[in-house]
Amino acid sequence: MTGEATAAVDSFRDYLERLEERDACNRIDERISWNLEAGAVTMRANERDAQIPVFEDVSDGTDARLVGDPYRGPRRQPWKHIAMALGVTDARTTDDFYEEIIDRVRSPIAPTVVDRDDAPCKDVVRTGGDVDLLSFPWPFLHVGDGGRYSNLHTLIADDRDTEWTDWSSHRAMLHDNTRASVLLLAGEQTPNIYYYKYERHDEPMPVAIAIGAEPAVECVSIMWIPTGRNEAEFAGGLKRAPVELVECETNDLLVPATAEIVLEGRVLPNSRLDEGPYGDYFGYMHGPRRSMPVLEIDAVSHRERPLIPFRVEWSEVGYAHNTTSSMEVACVGPDATLGLRAAGFDVEKLAPWPFTPRTVYVVSTETTRPDYLHELANFIFTTWGMLHVDFFVFVDADVDPFDQRAVLEAMSLYADPDADFHQFGAESMPKVPLNIYQTPEEKGDVQMGTSKAKTAKTYIDATRPEGAPLRSGSQVGDSERRERAREVLEKAGLSEETLDTAPVAPSGERR
């Protein structure tokens, strides 16, 4: 990535400009409707590793625009566009990128608060009776969806009892001009604040939703930042510069000043609306519809000609990438790796396995004693991995956890079906009610958004038994050979973008 800007971008639209400079962004002037069309075009772009589509005209008499899966990276380097956004210019491999992100997360930088006159998100402000949610072109993504969604944003909420502000990502289904239902699954940070604190006191939870916030904010929103820590500082660390915040119009929350749109409102206590069905992240239309907390909107502020980013979850099955899978690798992977190291585990790398978002993770680790792996699994399943992660595969530190072939090879060579497949916490772990293997009855029987039907967790010990011989050549995997070939081809004059976007056969190998 030589010759690129070295500073992180400060806004979502600056990020798009940077994509455009690299010919990685496709501004579509032809009218494309928010009603299925924008989602379909985005899905196609995801499948083909095409440029990021920006829909300049989405009809309905609005000048707002849509952006489909803006953080999707090239499939061999899904983190690459996020690296570009954060000004990470010297990462050539996933390892380089991981270590750079880990370094940055370790060095938080405090945010600054700017006057509202200096905040682009206040270009247009509407409050009270002027709030008109449906004047924005929220996308309707899948034929069977229960409604239109905002699904790529940062939900900002204060803890009721402390000074802590949580940033998180919870999709919202728009119902009418002032109301939406928000997918809050107890067990996650903001849902816990709502269910166990605000709602128990019969109080509304003041919130803001920042749509099209700058990339560093978006990244932190999906990272697991420990409870009580200032998320804005971690966003500052990620971009190596302070994030600018500004006060809301109708509550005391601070929001990213360069966000494209800010919705201010309250999540009401003891009030529910339908949420879903939704073409979910496993690629299936998920029913039944759920009852989720009601978000009542009090104010909307936005930039001129705001951009609304969205993701098409349904396109993630098969061999396509999207924003979710790219951000899992770019944000969750390094963050979780750091989290495990901070907890005292000597892991080499944690990899969200491609195409299995949040369900299967692979961890490469130096220490492979059975009791150590059990302790490691216990830590993960009782902290951030509790709701979503179904199973882990542990491999030796010299196995690249992103290399599916290498991981499967390790499983087939070293994982004894009798001794190395560990069912962990059978019938005693909560489960997010979105997975396809749960029956509709199990998914529908929810308490505080989380499935009442419990599930087991599993980990597979695919590390080499003590004393097992190192296979000849196993330390020079396909990925390293490819990387070497890439360098040779680049030196020979083949453009980097061409190398990044070469099609991938179903086997995962390049054609």
Residues that bind other proteins (CB under 8 A): 35, 134, 140, 144, 146-148, 174-177, 202, 271, 273-274, 277, 284-289, 440, 444
Shortest Cβ distance from residue 355 to other proteins (Å)? 21
> Please, which residue, 146 or 333, has the CB nearer to other proteins?
146
Helices in 321-382 by DSSP H: which ranges?
A: 323-327, 333-342, 370-381
Q: What is the smallest separation between the CB atom of 287 and other proteins, expressed in angstroms?
A: 4
**Enclosing H/E stretch for 465:** none
- Measured at the CA of 387, the angle between CA 385 and CA 391, to 5 degrees, comes to 55
Helix or strand holding residue 287 (H, E)? none
Alpha helix positions (H), 76-230? 80-86, 94-105, 189-193, 215-222
In whole angstroms, how close is the CB of 325 to other proteins at the nearest point? 23
Identify which of residues 56 and 274 has a Cβ nearer to other proteins in the complex.
274
Q: Which long-range contacts (CB under 8 A, 24 or more apart) does 96-100 make?
A: 97/330, 97/334, 98/333, 98/334, 98/337, 98/349
Minimum CB separation of residue 67 from other proteins in Å reads 20
Which lies closer to other proteins via its Cβ, residue 17 or residue 176? Answer: 176
CB of 204 to other proteins, least distance (A): 12
Task: Choose between 52 and 180: whose C-beta lies nearer to other proteins.
Answer: 180
What number of helices (H) and strands (E) belong to the chain?
Answer: 14, 24
User: Minimum CB separation from other proteins for residue 135, in Å?
Assistant: 11
**What are phi and psi for residue 157, nearest 5 degrees?**
-145, 140
Q: Which two tokens stand for residue 338?
A: 């750091």
What is the Cα–Cα distance from 234 to 384, expressed in whole angstroms? 18
Q: Which helix (H) or strand (E) holds 398?
A: none
- Supply 72's token pair: 């999707």
Token pair, residue 439, equals 């029956």
Find the distance separating the first CA and the last CA of the chain, reported in whole Å: 24
Closest distance of CB 278 from other proteins, Å: 11
Q: Which residue in this structure is represented by tokens 């030589």?
A: 2
Q: Which is nearer to other proteins, 81 or 286 (CB)?
A: 286
Q: Name the nearest CA neighbour of 94 among 78, 73, 70, 118.
A: 78
The dihedrals phi and psi of 497, each to the nearest 5 degrees, come to: -65, -40
Tell me the closest approach of the beta carbon of residue 443 to other proteins, in angstroms. 8
Q: How far apart are CA 341 and CA 252, in angstroms?
A: 35
Nearest distance in Å: CB 480, other proteins? 44
Nearer to other proteins, 269 or 425 (CB): 269
* Whether the Cβ atoms of residue 193 and residue 293 lie closer than 8 Å to each other: no
Shortest distance, position 175 Cβ to other proteins, whole Å: 4
For other proteins, the closer of residues 177 and 495 by Cβ is: 177
Residue pair 390/422 in contact by the 8 Å Cβ criterion: no
Q: Which C-beta is closer to other proteins: that of 198 or that of 394?
A: 198
- Amino acid sitting at position 484: R
Rg (CA), the chain: 22
Measured from the CB atom, is 287 or 477 closer to other proteins?
287
